[in-house]
Structure 1
Amino acid sequence: MTATSLCQGEGCRSGHAGGRPRRRTADGSLLCRSCREHLTAGLAELTHLYEECGRMLGGAAPGSLRERTTGGYLPGLPFNGAAADVRASMVSVLGSWSGLVAQQRGFTAPPRTVAALTAFLLRNADWLAAHSAAAEVTKEIARLVRAGRRAAFPDPARSIRLGDCPESGCSGALALAVRAGAPAPGEAIVCDADPAHRWTSDQWSELSRSMDSAREPGAAPAAATERWLTAADIARLWHTPTGTVYRLASEERWRRRNRAGRTYYNEGDVRACFTRRAART
């Protein structure tokens, strides 16, 4: 008979405080499936958040979708102390948990880089899920992810420019106004020339195809604009956790470009990926 217990994960514990029942788990683990997946997704995301915080230290402005142009770099920002503190915390916390795993399992501790530390912890995620400190590790990783997101994407409000308005005869450009925090379904994509030209963010896949087909008469098909998105923009437009975006980018081999230390993904590859995923559901 398989023993079960109440999940000790951060998701279940915080949900229980809000009135939701805690899920049960089995096989000696202290985490339910959902909290176990959140732990691994958080570890995977920390590597990318560490890099994004490093970009903030270099003075790059918070990024957004960019069309492929020959323009210059984005204007700089002063040194970001919050980003520096978060990066130091990531190394410290991940190093402590890796040290615990290495000591108790007789392994060699990994190098003290976020990439090496997260990879080591991911390989030992099942062991951590069954450890008596499982509640603490999920809490600390979740806290690091939240802090990393705040430091890497600090804008309380910003505008993602999406390209030319596809409405016939309109010379305006489309933008999605976003706020800090989790993606909100139904946010408006609005034309700056005519506010009546408006779509919700969950219509983006169809809208982007319309933008590709809206050409000046006589324009060559090859002149289609290539749009490039950050992971944060993809999460916003497709209402998907940032950790999932990074995982899909790696698995699906989306084309990518680096500009001013920031990674942008090809919107066509992203759109095709999410279209295939939607067709399977």
Structure 2
Amino acid sequence: MTVTALCHGEGCRGGNAGGRPGRRTAAGSRLCRACREHFTAGLAELAHLYEECGRVLGGASPGSLRERTTGGELPGLPFNGAAADVRAKMVSVLGSWSGLVAQQRGFTPPARTVADLTAFLLRNADWLAAHSAAAEVTEEIARLVRAGRRAAFPDPTRTIRLGTCPEPGCPGALALAVRTATRAAGPAIVCDADPGHRWTSDQWSVLSDSMESGQAPGAAAAATERWLTAADIAQLWHTPTGTVYRLASEQRWRRQGRAGRTYYHEGDVRACFERRAEART
């Protein structure tokens, strides 16, 4: 394709670019490939964040597999105002952009539900990427995703239980501790019996083969069945949550529901990401 101009996407402008020069776009678009993918992943994630925010409206514990440490729900305060505000904002912003697309393209506007609005905008993502308002739409969608994550998963520290420590003779269990403020630095998988038994989340594929087998990472291991939420998968494989949901649907990962949440079979997830890694080499 013919290269034409600097990307207008939210990830390439201002402080979000991290000091690097903005990437260039392909002809017919105002976004680079990375910002285009980030934009569509954000749209896909919003429908799921809307549902997660709905879960915490009545005081349900946000997030996924985590430890309960102290206290409990505050009596008489079951309503989560932040989640309600974010859900209303999602409908308003997505409805506004869908209205623009419908008006300028002569389409029938979708129903004002987040699922219908995001599906409509995803079908028109290429048109929006080429529109003069591409900068604004990518910025507003990214802002909505950040707000939705904060409302759905407000606890700054989450603990994802992973299983038994694979070091010989160790009685401990492994957990992935994720602290929102240091997410960029990369979460670590740590044994609760011996902090010296520690791995980065990048080593999860190898580590998971040896867990609950009593052998060191890399040794032959018995198959262990584990189930992970989309948020867990996003943390372990450093992948946007929207991409996780897309892959789960495309690759038909095995799934099961527990207490209103969806869990995916870790073996299917790992096989998928291993194939993706091999395809990039």
Q: What is the TM-score normalised by the length of structure 1?
A: 0.85
Structure 1 stretches lacking a partner, 5+ long: 67-74, 216-220
Distance 2:201 2:228 in 1: 14
Instruction: Report how far residue 177 of structure 1 moved.
Output: 1.5
The 3 A distance-change label for structure 1 pair 184 and 134 is closer
Q: Which has the higher contact order (CA 8 A, sep 6+)?
A: 1
- Alignment coverage as a number of residue pairs: 267
Partner of 2:263: 264
Give the corresponding residue for 2:33: 33
Give the drift of 1:186: 5.0
Within-5 A mapping of 1:1-281: 4-15=4-15, 18-65=18-65, 78-180=78-180, 183-184=183-184, 186-214=186-214, 225-280=224-279, 281=281
Q: Which stretch of the first structure deviates more once superposed, 48-57 or 90-99?
A: 48-57
Contact map agreement 2:227 2:264 (CA 8 A) in 1: yes
Task: Provide the rounded CA distance (Å) in 2 between the counterparts of 1:203 and 1:245.
Answer: 19
Q: Secondary structure at the match of 2:147?
A: helix
1:72 alignment counterpart: none
**What whole-Å deviation, never above 9, does each CA across 1:110-153 have from its counterpart, x for those lacking one?**
01111110111111111111222111111111110111111111
Aligned CA distance change for structure 1 residues 104 and 61 (closer, same or farther; 3 Å):
same
Name the CA distance, whole Å, in 2 between partners of 1:204 and 1:248: 19
Across the aligned residues of Structure 1 and Structure 2, the Cα RMSD in angstroms comes to: 2.6
Listed one character per residue, the Cα deviations across residues 10-61 of structure 1 (whole Å, up to 9, x for unaligned) are: 1121357753322232433222222222211111111111111112124322
SS across alignment from 1:213: coil
TM-score by length of 2: 0.85
- CA 178–26 in structure 1, closer or farther in 2 if over 3 Å, else same: closer
- The one-letter amino acid paired with 2:46 is L
Deviates more, 1:88-97 or 1:23-32: 23-32
Structure 2: distance between partners of 1:246 and 1:230: 10
**CA–CA distance in structure 2, aligned partners of residues 76 and 269 of structure 1:** 35
Task: Quote the Cα distance in structure 1 between the aligned partners of 2:39 and 2:65.
Answer: 28
Separation of aligned partners in 1, 2:91 and 2:30: 25
Equivalent in the alignment of 2:69: none
Contact 2:169–2:214 under 8 Å retained in 1: no
Describe the superposition over 1:36-91 as per-residue Cα deviations: whole angstroms up to 9, x where unpaired.
Answer: 2221111111111111111212432233348xxxxxxxx86732211111111111
Unaligned runs of 5+ in 2: 67-71, 216-220
Partner secondary structure for residue 19 of structure 1 = coil
What residue identity is the alignment partner of 2:141?
I
Distance in 1 between residues matched to 2:65 and 2:158, nearest whole Å: 12
